[in-house]
Amino acid sequence: MAGPRTHTSGDAARLRSLRQRAGARLPERRPQCDPTDHLTATHGGMIPTKVGASSPIPFGRYTLIERLAVGGMAELFLGTAPGEHGFQRQVVIKRLLPNLAREPVYTAMFIDEAKLTAKLSHPKIAQTYELGRVGTELFIAMEFVDGLDVLAMLRELAWQRRRMPTELAVWVTHEVLDALDFAHNLKDEQGNSLGIVHRDISPSNVLLSRRGDVKLVDFGIARAVGPGRHHRTKSGTLKGKYGYMSPEQVIEQPVDARSDLFSAGVVLAEMLCGRRLFAATAEIDVLLMVRDAKLSRLDQYGGHIPGSLDAILRKALSKDPADRHASAADMRDALQD
């Protein structure tokens, strides 16, 4: 695919223009969709729960404005951080649920997440500012991205019976792969690879800011799989959104960076086709489709995809990791060639 090899401030303006063409305003009401086809996901496994107007709540040095989402382990709030002379900065506060605050396993997982994400200092990854505690409540203060996620854009386009422009889908994927290339190659102080794998690449975890930036978010279930490193995931549990897992995640085999490339391929396919790639009424059927890398829906709805892009996409969606691109950089560069 043809594309730019360097990225300048003009690229942000270009993305803003493409977003405007795609349509970014969300209607208040939406039609019911076929449950086997509906583009649904939750933000980092969290359910959006905006609570409407309420009084700001002091929380340490922050002020919580509204709750954005809640999940099984934590809840997200829009907040503000104060500064001198009336300065305020919007942040996202991720707070461990009160009922888990005294559970050592969950507090350790939460602290691990903060320590890992604090290392991910990259312009295409939402930043972690602070791990803190207010009373008995642990929290992480993170960058607030003013915009919308890819899932919201795809839902709006489906409402309008339109597809995302191919150029925009490729550009967004390029930026996600750039972020993944950084994360996958991150090293510790001794120069050893951390072996970070995101494990939850999905439309709701890719944000498009109003400034024209693409931001990858939610490394909450990311795993450092480098030599000598351990993780706290319980055996027999699947981490991630089923329709965006890799085949090796589904069968609980060891994963590496190529697992994220499969998931990025799923997101790219859905941006291009405007439909779920792995869709079924029962979760077990979704898992079986992912396990077998069954691409019948890409065959059905992807006829408009240019041949060169289709080849890149199908390579990323190979069942065997050895048949995929060797790295995020390789897949990113293939989109440019």
Q: Which domains does the chain have, with CATH numbers?
A: 9-43+146-336 (1.10.510.10), 47-143 (3.30.200.20)
Residue located via tokens 């890819």 = 150
Instruction: State the residue for tokens 């993780």.
Output: 231
According to the model, what pLDDT value does residue 69 have?
86
pLDDT of residue 24: 45
State the pLDDT confidence band at 137, using cuts at 50, 70 and 90.
very high
32-41, 171-180, 193-202: range with highest mean pLDDT: 171-180
Per-residue pLDDT, 57: 92
Q: Is 310 assigned a catalytic role?
A: no
Residue 307: predicted pLDDT: 96
- Dist. CA 314–CA 324, nearest whole Å: 9
Estimate the share of the chain in helix, then strand, then coil, as percent rounded to the nearest 5.
40, 20, 45
Mean pLDDT lowest among 5-19, 182-196, 230-244, 307-321? 5-19
Predicted pLDDT of residue 241 = 87
Higher pLDDT, 159 or 29: 159
Task: Calculate mean pLDDT across residues 254-264.
Answer: 97
Token pair in block for residue 304:
């408009």
Q: Give the CA radius of gyration of the chain.
A: 20
244 φ/ψ angles, rounded to the nearest 5 degrees: -120, 10
What the block records as the tokens of 323 is: 């048949």
pLDDT above 60: residue 228: no
Long-range CB contacts (within 8 A, 24+) of 172-176: 172/206, 172/208, 172/214, 172/271, 173/264, 173/267, 173/268, 173/271, 173/335, 174/3, 174/332, 174/335, 174/336, 175/124, 175/214, 176/124, 176/201, 176/206, 176/214, 176/216, 176/264, 176/267
Per-residue confidence band for 43, with pLDDT thresholds at 50, 70 and 90: very low
- Is residue 222 within 8 Å of residue 240, measured between CB atoms? no
Residue-level pLDDT at 48 = 52
pLDDT at 85: 76
Q: Measured in whole angstroms, how far is the alpha carbon of residue 188 from the centre of its chain?
A: 23
Q: What is the mean pLDDT of residues 181-209?
A: 94
Q: Are 248 and 255 in contact (CB under 8 A)?
A: yes
Q: Please state, in angstroms and rounded to a whole number, the distance separating the CA atoms of residues 169 and 337.
A: 16
Give yes or no for a contact between 221 and 42, defined as CB atoms under 8 angstroms apart.
no
pTM across the whole model:
0.82
Q: Which residue has the tokens 């507090």?
A: 107
Q: Which residues pair with 209 in a beta bridge?
A: 147
> 43 — phi, psi (to 5°)?
-70, 105
* pLDDT band of 15, cuts 50, 70, 90: low
End-to-end CA distance of the chain: 5
d(CA 68, CA 245): 25
Instruction: Give CA angle at 99 (234, 69), nearest 5°.
Output: 85
All residues at 6 or more sequence positions from 83 whose CB lies less than 8 Å from its CB, including other chains: 89
Q: How far is CA 6 from the centre of its chain?
A: 24
- By the 10 Å C-beta count (0-12 exposed, 13-18 middle, 19+ buried), 296 is classed as exposed
Catalytic one among 149, 200, 213, 218? Answer: 200
Higher pLDDT, 239 or 323: 323
